[in-house]
Structure 1
Amino acid sequence: MLIGIGVTFYYGKVGISLEGMEIMKEYGMSGSLYPKLSLMSVFLGPAVIALVTFFAALYPTLRIARLKPVDAMKAV
């Protein structure tokens, strides 16, 4: 994540060249993109991933917690 933040800051200052996209100049756009980093973009992605992972692991965990050890050993 730290590498991604560093890369975004770098290209935010330098810009990402879009050579070959001359049509953008016809619409008044520059030939480079300058990404911006916000707190929401830094924390929202990892938060969504953490929530999805938590809920994906919740059902199997609850199911295993209800099993008796003897029944679990019989299933193997």
Structure 2
Amino acid sequence: MLAEYYEQIEILVTNITLGILFLLIGLAIRDVLKKSAVPKFGRVIVWLVLFLGCFGFIAKGIIQVFWEAGI
């Protein structure tokens, strides 16, 4: 039974791992920004870049689902 769902399990674990990775990156960036005296504008730019990176992975996943479904 496990062999039947191997690809789906692999995709799920990969997505969860990427989510955890982005969370840890966000926590590390928050810590660095908090400890150093970064101006407000710099913090906004850093968080914007991080968000756009996460959004790119999310958009890729959504596009891939629609592409494979043939919608």
User: TM-score when scaled to structure 1?
Assistant: 0.39
Higher helix share: 2
Instruction: Select the structure with the greater relative contact order (CA < 8 A; seq sep ≥ 6).
Output: 2
